[in-house]
Amino acid sequence: MTINDIAARTGFAASTVSRALSRPGRVNRVTRERIQAAARELNYVPNVPARALSSGRTATVAVLVSDVTNPFYFGLIRGAQHELRAAGYAQMLVDTEDSPELETRLLSTVRQSVDGVILAASRLPGRAIIGITAELPVVTVNRNAPGVRSVVIDSPDGVMQAVEHLISLGHRQVVYVAGPSCSWANEARWRAMRTAMAKHGLAATRIGPFGASRRSGSAAADALLNTGATACIAFNDLIAIGILRRLGERGVDVPGEISVVGCDDIFGADFCSPPLTTLAAPVEQAGRVAVSMLLEQNLAVRASRRNVILPTHLTVRQSSGRAPRR
Amino acid sequence: MTINDIAARTGFAASTVSRALSRPGRVNRVTRERIQAAARELNYVPNVPARALSSGRTATVAVLVSDVTNPFYFGLIRGAQHELRAAGYAQMLVDTEDSPELETRLLSTVRQSVDGVILAASRLPGRAIIGITAELPVVTVNRNAPGVRSVVIDSPDGVMQAVEHLISLGHRQVVYVAGPSCSWANEARWRAMRTAMAKHGLAATRIGPFGASRRSGSAAADALLNTGATACIAFNDLIAIGILRRLGERGVDVPGEISVVGCDDIFGADFCSPPLTTLAAPVEQAGRVAVSMLLEQNLAVRASRRNVILPTHLTVRQSSGRAPRR
DNA sequence: ATGAAAGCGCTAACAT
DNA sequence: ATGTTAGCGCTTTCAT
């Protein structure tokens, strides 16, 4: 079932068939209809690799995530999937396993097979990302690099809200539980927290870095207790849930003795115990927006919308409360 | 950077370069080394679509899931990703949104772009799956169709364990909270449950079908209370967690008044409240095995291993307990 | 063991 | 508006 079969069947040249199918505007109406009818009858489906070879367009976009099992990405992946589907694109999913080296390698191998890349939480240094931009349309998520289009969830603003929340509850010693060291979002959140604390004449402390996983959260909990702080803000919910878990095991009351605030509002944040106070993140929207930016970049339209910032807000649940009297 | 550049650089013909790169065994050792060295220097990366066009192999496998945001698939996707990567394959992720029609359509469009398909929890009728097999290597997960390779997690056996567990705790009226009606696994679990109950001279009842989501679980909880049962086994953890949630809202004590057992042991099952008694499922392994079966099928080796069954076991947590006295 | 040449299915000049 | 022709980068006969 190729374009040639349709050509033979309808008596048109293959090129006309090609046009009728991929740029219907450029052929006569009756021609188009005859060809499209034949295509339908013969159950014709275009051969993507062949099309890619001659046109350079693969109708495929790669989505790189640092860890597929991190629930944070699922909304993102789904948002991207939806938007891609609507535009007739396929999604190649790539797990970089939190490794900059692997990320680089995979990026170079997919380069030829995709029309663009969405870099979600890239672990690459900024210059590397800029380098890729030269070869391929790129949109980053939760990551900024000069000249690279991005959609970032405004967690720094959320972190400020979280700090205000904790301070209003009487907390004075709040620690930041840091995530992976090469995460851009991690630095952004830490900076926001320092600023917010400073505004109240308080110093923020920091422990970590920790991997973005529940297991790391357990280790973090112990380190946290050693600091004597009455509250913490964790890089993400995975870590926060790990902390909750470990604190529970050690019989530490949350929020009675210590308050825990997470980030991202992932699946589970609302039903862990106690339910986690966290920063809601419009993840699915981020995925959709990233894709639409990537695709309109392909079409070279709208030079606006280079860097989109999506709002967050603090979702207060039961893991945060009044600071204990000391 | 094409094969021709390397040919020009080394003085060999393009065909020799091709061989040296893709079937190193078929060229002289020194030739091979010279060519490989040049490829490395020039930073050559093969063009996948071009290779696909001439050889028919795309080095890509499609993974179809019914809903990307279902945590059940996290592990599966990761397992598949790992195994594919190791074999030099890319992963195309496709969300079928629980719709047989969409599944069919997407399948026909990816057909030409992939070397095989993993159908995780397909919503297609058996004959449709068999039809696809004629065009493309297929491995199903948690789904059986005559003549189609599959890896299924032995939840039916797990369901039996769950029934024994509940009966030993004094439960006599246990209801099955059914999942999506076109889910094969759903039927398999229900059948297993009936059998297990019958063994003790008990009749199983069933409510549903419900969608495989937490929201559905809330509706299910209400229906469940109307039955007067003292325990339930839910199609999956998503539903079970939804039930737990709703029961909590309504002030029904779990497991004091009613016991809840889930299925799959997804992310969150261990930290919801109360922690969920559920069937552990080796999901990541399922993903790996499915891929390895798919790829060895490509190579037409080992006619064995057509249908792999992975074991489950009951993981008892706090959502199940003694039946209440009546 | 290596080279020459054809062609995979499609698109994109170019020609008509 | 449609047809002709030449590739895209690679693999694969078929020769040598």
Tens of pLDDT, residue by residue over A194-240, are 999 999 999 999 998 999 999 999 999 999 999 999 999 999 999 99
Omega cis (within 30) before B324: no
State the pLDDT at residue B67: 93
Nearest CA distance, A273 vs chain B (angstrom): 6
The 10s digit of each residue's pLDDT in B217-246 is 999 999 999 999 999 999 999 999 999 999
DSSP B264: B
**Which of A:182-241 have CB within 8 Å of B?**
241
Q: Report, as an integer, the average pLDDT of B34-61.
A: 95
Pick among A42, A43, A53 to test the B interface (most B CBs inside 10 A)? A53
State the pLDDT at residue B301: 47
Distance CA B239, CA B215 (A): 8
- Shortest CB distance from B110 goes to which of A74, A90, A273? A90
Same fold, A60-153+282-310 and A155-281: yes
Contact A130, A105 (CB under 8 A): no
Taking C1' of D3 and every protein CA, the nearest residue is: A13
State the pLDDT at residue B290: 97
CB contact under 8 A, B53 and A49: yes
> Buried b vs exposed e over A166-191: b needs ≥16 C-beta within 10 Å?
bbeeebbbbbbbbbbebbbbbebbbe
Quick check: A298 pLDDT over 60? no
Taking C1' of C9 and every protein CA, the nearest residue is: A50
Quick check: A297 pLDDT over 60? yes
Residues lying close to strand D (Cβ under 7 A), chosen from 158-187 of chain A, are none
A12 touches strand D (CB under 7 A): yes
Which residue in A295, A293, A288 sits closest to A306, CA to CA?
Answer: A293
The 10s digit of each residue's pLDDT in B137-171 is 999 999 999 999 999 999 889 999 999 999 999 99
Quick check: B326 pLDDT over 80? no
Question: pTM score, two decimals?
Answer: 0.94
Distance CA A112, CA B45 (A): 8
State the pLDDT at residue B286: 98
- For the CA atoms of A215, A216, A217, A218, the dihedral, rounded to the nearest 10 degrees, stands at 60
Quick check: A167 pLDDT over 80? yes
Quick check: A179 pLDDT over 90? yes
> Residue B143: what residue type?
R
State the pLDDT at residue B304: 61
State the pLDDT at residue B163: 98
**DSSP E strand boundaries for chain B:** 60-65, 90-95, 116-120, 138-141, 149-153, 174-177, 205-207, 231-234, 259-261, 278-280, 307-310, 313-315
- Confidence category of residue B216, pLDDT binned at 50, 70, 90: very high
| The token pair that represents A207 in the structure block | 């422990």
Burial label for A274, CB within 10 Å (0-12, 13-18, 19+), is middle
3-state secondary structure of A230: coil
State the pLDDT at residue B121: 83
| The token pair that represents A305 in the structure block | 């919308």
Tell me which of 3.40.50.2300, 3.30.43.10, 1.10.287.990, 3.40.50.10800 is the CATH number of domain B60-153+282-310.
3.40.50.2300
State the pLDDT at residue B214: 96
Residue with tokens 């590397």: A128
Q: For residue A272, give the chain B residue with the closest CA.
A: B272
| Mean pLDDT rounded to a whole number for chain B | 94
Distance CA A45, CA A47 (A): 6
Which residue in A226, A256, A222 sits closest to A242, CA to CA?
Answer: A222
Which residue in A172, A177, A165, A206 sits closest to A325, CA to CA?
Answer: A172
Q: Report, as an integer, the average pLDDT of B108-114.
A: 94
CATH architecture for residues A155-281: 3-Layer(aba) Sandwich (3.40)
Q: Are strands A138-141 and A149-153 parallel, antiparallel or unpaired?
A: parallel
| CATH number of the structural domain B3-55 | 1.10.260
Q: Report, as an integer, the average pLDDT of A245-251.
A: 97
Q: For residue B274, give the chain A residue with the closest CA.
A: A273
Q: How many CB pairs below 8 A link A and B?
A: 116
Q: Report, as an integer, the average pLDDT of B107-133.
A: 94
The 10s digit of each residue's pLDDT in A3-24 is 999 999 999 999 999 999 999 9
State the pLDDT at residue A301: 47
Chain C nucleotides reached by a protein CB under 7 Å: 1-5, 7-13
Chain D nucleotides reached by a protein CB under 7 Å: 1-5, 7-13
State the pLDDT at residue B305: 75
Quick check: B321 pLDDT over 50? yes
- Confidence category of residue B297, pLDDT binned at 50, 70, 90: low
Domain boundaries, chain B: 3-55, 60-153+282-310, 155-281
- For the CA atoms of B118, B121, B122, B127, the dihedral, rounded to the nearest 10 degrees, stands at 90
Distance B50 CA to D3 C1' (A): 26
Q: Which nucleotide is nearest to B45 (CA to C1')?
A: D9
Mean pLDDT is lowest, of A91-105, A289-303, B197-211, for A289-303
Q: For residue A68, give the chain B residue with the closest CA.
A: B78
Quick check: B30 pLDDT over 50? yes
- Containing A63, the helix (H) or strand (E) segment is strand A60-65
Contact B106, B96 (CB under 8 A): yes
CB contact under 8 A, A48 and B113: yes
State the pLDDT at residue A325: 84
